[in-house]
């Protein structure tokens, strides 16, 4: 049984879910364009032995937008606030992509709050990569969709065109996520992708990684 809750961080309102306390805390964090439900199946699998949480990052899902921005260095503050105010004891962070970079920022800034991290394909160092126009095009299209004020059924139709190979369930989930997005979430990332230089400098994954003193696991994909 998950309970949806909100935390006023002083900067924005963070939406998250909390499960029953059956063990040590574990916090799931989605990637860009996602929402807490991204991890719903994994939450169910750990619920018997852990105390699970899953968050909507700022500008995503039911969390509020944040006037202070969407740089990599902005997201960790929200998670630190959650860990300080709502989570008992150091937590394991399980995170994908943007969430993984955020976790690196959290673990670097507040290692006392983090027991271990699972980093699923974190875009560490990827700002130095060339030939990234395909991802930039995808993000730009998502940003355009997020700016539309259309009914769910129309959004499903538009998302189907963007992701023709995805299942109906995946498309529906993406459509819901996009309708909940602050389009500005993508602005900083698109700037970085298009100009091949990171403008997200408040917490540089490159410089933060060596300061991670908690125990991490890192996994990456090779399509």
Residue holding tokens 């199946």? 41
What is the side-by-side order of every strand in the sheet holding 3-8? 3-8, 13-18, 50-56, 24-29, 91-96, 114-120
CB atoms near residue 27 (< 10 Å): 28
Nearest to other proteins of 57, 66 (CB atom): 57
| Burial status of residue 127 (CB atoms within 10 A of its CB: 0-12, 13-18, 19 or more) | buried
Which residues bind to other proteins, rule: CB under 8 A? 26, 31, 39, 41-42, 45-46, 50, 92, 94, 96-97, 115-116, 118, 120-126, 129, 170, 206, 209-210, 212-213, 215-223
Nearest to other proteins of 126, 160 (CB atom): 126
Nearest to other proteins of 73, 216 (CB atom): 216
Nearest to other proteins of 94, 185 (CB atom): 94
According to DSSP, residue 106 is labeled H
Report in angstroms how near the CB of residue 132 gets to other proteins at its nearest.
11
Cβ–Cβ under 8 Å, residues 200 and 72? yes
Report in angstroms how near the CB of residue 120 gets to other proteins at its nearest.
5
Report in angstroms how near the CB of residue 160 gets to other proteins at its nearest.
17
Report in angstroms how near the CB of residue 50 gets to other proteins at its nearest.
8
């Amino acid at each position: 049984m998950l309970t949806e809750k909100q935390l006023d961080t002083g900067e924005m309102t963070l939406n998250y879910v909390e499960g029953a306390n059956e063990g040590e805390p574990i916090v799931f964090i989605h990637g860009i364009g996602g929402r807490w439900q991204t991890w719903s199946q994994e939450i169910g699998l750990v619920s018997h032995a852990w105390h699970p949480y899953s968050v909507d990052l700022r500008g995503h899902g039911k969390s509020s937008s944040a006037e202070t921005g969407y740089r990599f260095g902005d997201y960790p503050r929200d998670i630190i606030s959650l860990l300080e105010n709502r989570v008992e004891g150091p937590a394991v962070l399980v995170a994908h992509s943007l969430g993984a970079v955020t976790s690196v920022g959290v673990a670097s800034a507040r290692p006392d709050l983090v027991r271990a991290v699972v980093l699923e394909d974190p875009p560490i160092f990827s700002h130095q990569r060339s030939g990234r126009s395909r991802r930039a095009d995808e993000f730009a299209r998502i940003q355009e969709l997020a700016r539309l004020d259309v009914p769910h059924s129309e959004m499903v139709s538009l998302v189907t065109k963007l992701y023709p190979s995805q299942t109906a369930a995946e498309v529906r989930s993406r459509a819901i996520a996009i309708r909940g997005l602050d389009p500005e979430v993508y602005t900083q990332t698109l700037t970085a992708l298009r100009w091949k230089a990171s403008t997200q400098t408040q917490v540089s994954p490159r410089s933060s990684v060596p300061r991670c003193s908690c125990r991490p696991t890192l996994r990456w994909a090779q399509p």
